[in-house]
Chains A and B, each alone.
Chain A
Amino acid sequence: MTTRTAPSATALYDIPGPATRRRHLLYGVVSTALILALIGWVVYLLFDTEQFTSAKWTPFTYKGIQKLLLRGLGNTLKAFAYAAVLSLLLGAVLAVGRLSDHRPVRWIATVLVEFFRAMPVLVMIFFIFVALKVQPLPALVTGLTLYNGSVLAEVFRTGINSVERGQSEAAYALGLRKTQVTTFVLAPQAVRAMLPTIISQLVVALKDTSLGYLITYEEFLHAGKLIASNLDYDLPFIPVVMVISPIYIGMCMLLSWFATWVAKQERRNPKVKAVEIAPAEPGTLLPGVQ
């Protein structure tokens, strides 16, 4: 009974007694009422500014509009697929570079990784698009690949470094070479442990494909903008947002949940015992702090 009211044991408060529970119930009722009032106000505003008129919603029943939206969604997924595969590859290459025994290689890889992580993705995408005059899709994919690839390189590198030292020592003692130790012993364990982090980074890549909208790549948001700015449909701006955002957010949420699910599976997996699992959300690491 008591665990139902408290989220989990925190340092903040004790397990509440009966009087406190009554007080919390009161707070709960009041705050629920406030939140519902807020939602009601938003819905009222939606009706008041006439967002639910049929003129604004009928376009979505047209075949052409549906096709436009689907094509946009397809383009978004296409950019995501390219960017995901390429950034995994680039991440692997850069991670190998950073783990190299040769100082010049290590240096170059470190500089590349640090530079691309410190730059806003959009600046890179605009640079490729405007200065190098590349088509929108390759420009978007390259920008995303450079950024996410360098973040993933750091993920891979810390993953490989966090495998218990005994593992590589044992492998070296068996006479394996460095390449063999990395590919047969360290990488398989590291990748298992790092899978949730890798997937969360792919969520970032999926979210960032929407930057393609800014360089006129014909992706999902761009399709929405086309519909929203159509005078014939009475500028259905809010309806477009209400249709597009659940799909976008849903896709990202699905991928995030997948990451959490994988993390839960991995925690039970004996094959990753030798690796400290890092938290699933690395965010942007501080440049210059290791």
Chain B
Amino acid sequence: MDVLTENFSLYAQGFLGTVELTVYSSILALLLGFVMASFRVAPVGSLRVLGTVWVTVLRNTPLTLLFFAVLLGLPRFGLVLPFKVFAVLALGCYTSAFICEVLRSGINTVPTGQGEAARSLGMTFGQTLNTVVLPQAFRSVIPPVGSTLIALAKNSAIAGAFSVTELLGTYKNLNELGYSIIWTFVWIAVGYLIITLSISALFNLMEKRWGVAR
């Protein structure tokens, strides 16, 4: 218990670092995932290929390798940014591949008849998309997007090992200060549980509010 109370600011810093990483990368992943999903269902061949390659490559890349390449490789191109931004880039791009697949399968769950009905009523492409297809797809992707974002929060621990301020990284400082290493890790674990369980609770709430049983 002492470990937490005496080093509360250190823990809080790490906790906020993880939350920050998670939030920024989630936003990037959702945006990029949406763009890639729209590429993958586009009627234009080259965009479909781009989306497919993006998803296949990133889903099969170990995240550590991606971090390694982005954090230590991009500076060789003369691109020097804070490590945190690099970490957000790596995490966001990695997760965007999973988000893309979730969104694509969400769009595919909308029955073809829905779109055909909308078009036969004279709706334009934009109207079909915004008022018929996307609202239905949105309802069915809430739980899988939630679990993808939970995985993202857990993956953000890797950033800590690449010296970004983050919850897991706090163990190093505490270890040097000579605190009980077991209790240090117990509180780190509690921190992660708080984050993952709150994401889970948020998405359960959204599911209850908007989800539909198909």
Contacts and interface: CB of A to CB of B under 8 A. Distances in A.
Given A214-B161, A287-B196, A252 B171 contact: no
Interface string B28-68: 00000000000001011111101000001101111111001
A25 B105 CA distance: 26
A45 B45 contact: no
A221 B158 CA distance: 14
B108 interface: yes
Given A286-B204, A289-B200, A10 B112 contact: yes
Contact of A11 (B98, B110, B146, B193): B110
Contact of B115 (A13, A130, A228, A245): A13
A288 B204 contact: yes
Say whether chain A's binding surface is mostly helix, strand, loop, or mixed.
Answer: helix
A214 B196 contact: no
Nearest to B191: A123
B72 interface: yes
Given A123-B185, A249-B61, A288 B114 contact: no
B200 A27 contact: no
A101 interface: no
A202 B168 CA distance: 25
B197 A122 contact: no
List the 6 closest A-B pairs by CB distance, nearest first.
A11-B115, A210-B62, A252-B60, A120-B154, A210-B64, A120-B157
Interface of A: 5-7, 9-14, 16, 20, 24, 27-28, 31-32, 35, 45, 49, 51, 118-123, 126-127, 130-131, 203, 206-211, 213-214, 221, 224-225, 228, 237-238, 241, 244-245, 248-249, 252-253, 256, 279, 281, 283-289
Interface of B: 41, 43-48, 50, 56-57, 59-65, 68-69, 72-73, 76-78, 98, 101, 105, 107-108, 110-116, 119, 125, 128-129, 132-133, 143-144, 146-148, 150-151, 154-158, 160-161, 168, 171, 175, 181-182, 184-185, 188-189, 192-193, 196-197, 200, 203-204
Given A14-B119, A32-B46, 5 more contacts: A207-B60, A209-B62, A210-B65, A283-B144, A286-B200
